[in-house]
């Protein structure tokens, strides 16, 4: 059984640029959630995708957007990058549908915005 | 809005000492409760979870946690820690009908030989 994978591992961007992060869910999981973890903080929920639709969103601006594909993999897009966007971005997959319970995390993508 | 509070940000213990990490949350409805661990250089892993039933739940690697509904608490315990337990520990709460895991700020545990 393959766990959650994310790419790339590390990324450096400059302010104002756009970035796309990718996530492959664990086998058999159809729900994907994205989190932002700033240094020294716990992860903060960005949004969740189920059946290719966003079905829950945290307190993040619209420049954070996502997609889920028919194979349940997902992308997180961030436009107009700001310095405060520097963080570890975590993807988590879960087996259920809406409000799916246990989430399993990938290794994360470390984004640095200069 | 939900919030999760972890009382200890940094804990240092000697091997074989007992561990208790506090976690309190604020939410009036039914919740699912989790403890995750992040070992150095590794990703977040699930230690244990509580959905319903027996409020004392057992997880991997000898960890357990007790849900006390009246105190809105879900404290993590281990009777005897090992050097390999050195890690960051996160408490997380999800409303039973919700989507998001709400995490505490984490507790950094260092176990010395």
> What single string gives the DSSP state of each residue in A55-114?
EEE-S--TTEEEEE-TTS-EEEEE-S--GGG-EEEEEEEESSSTT----EE---EEEEE-
Looking at the predicted structure, is the pLDDT value of residue B41 above 90?
no
pLDDT score, position B7: 87
Q: Chain B contacts of A43, Cβ < 8 Å?
A: 44, 90, 101, 103
Residue B29 pLDDT > 80, yes or no? yes
Look at residue A8 in the predicted model and tell me its pLDDT: 97
Rounded to an integer, what distance in angstroms lies between the CA atom of residue B44 and that of residue A106?
7
The pLDDT score that the predictor gives to residue B8 is: 85
Quote the pLDDT of residue B81: 97
pLDDT at B2: 78
- pLDDT of res. A101: 75
Residue numbers in chain A where pLDDT is lower than 70: 1-2, 97-100
Shortest CA gap B18–chain A (Å): 24
For CA atoms A107, A110, B25, B1, give the dihedral sign: negative
Residue B95's pLDDT is what?
87
> How many A×B Cβ pairs under 8 Å?
57
What pLDDT digit, counting tens, does each position of B42-101 carry? 999 999 999 989 999 999 999 999 999 999 999 999 999 999 999 999 999 998 878 899
Interchain pair A43, B34: CB under 8 A? no
Cβ pair B101:A90 closer than 8 A: no
Name every chain B residue with its beta carbon within 8 A of the beta carbon of A4. Answer: 43
> What pLDDT, on a 0 to 100 scale, did the predictor assign at position A102?
87
Chain A CB contacts of B102 below 8 Å = 45
Q: Please, are residues A107 and A23 in contact by the beta-carbon 8 Å criterion?
A: no
Q: How far apart are CA A42 and CA B13, in angstroms?
A: 22
Give the minimum alpha-carbon distance from A41 to chain B in angstroms, rounded to a whole number. Answer: 5
């Amino acid at each position: 059984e393959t766990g959650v994978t994310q790419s790339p591992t590390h990324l450096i961007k400059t302010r104002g640029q756009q970035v796309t992060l990718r996530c492959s869910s664990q086998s058999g999981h159809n729900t994907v959630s994205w989190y932002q973890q700033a240094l020294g903080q716990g992860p903060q929920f960005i949004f969740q995708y189920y059946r290719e639709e966003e079905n829950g969103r945290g307190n993040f601006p619209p420049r954070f957007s996502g997609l889920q594909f028919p194979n349940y993999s997902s992308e997180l897009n961030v436009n107009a990058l700001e310095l405060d966007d520097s963080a570890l971005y975590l993807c988590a997959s879960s087996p259920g549908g809406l409000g799916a319970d246990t989430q399993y995390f990938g290794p994360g993508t470390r984004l640095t915005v200069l | 809005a939900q919030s999760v509070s972890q009382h200890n940000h940094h804990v240092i213990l000697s091997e074989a000492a007992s561990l208790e990490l506090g976690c309190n949350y604020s939410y009036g409805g039914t919740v699912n409760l989790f403890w995750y661990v992040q070992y150095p250089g590794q990703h977040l892993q699930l230690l244990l979870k509580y959905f319903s039933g027996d409020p004392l739940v057992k997880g991997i690697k000898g960890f357990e946690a007790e849900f006390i509904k009246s105190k809105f608490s879900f404290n993590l315990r281990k009777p005897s820690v090992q050097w390999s337990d050195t890690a960051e520990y996160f408490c997380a709460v999800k409303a039973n009908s919700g989507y998001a895991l709400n995490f505490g700020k984490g507790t950094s545990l260092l176990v010395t030989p």
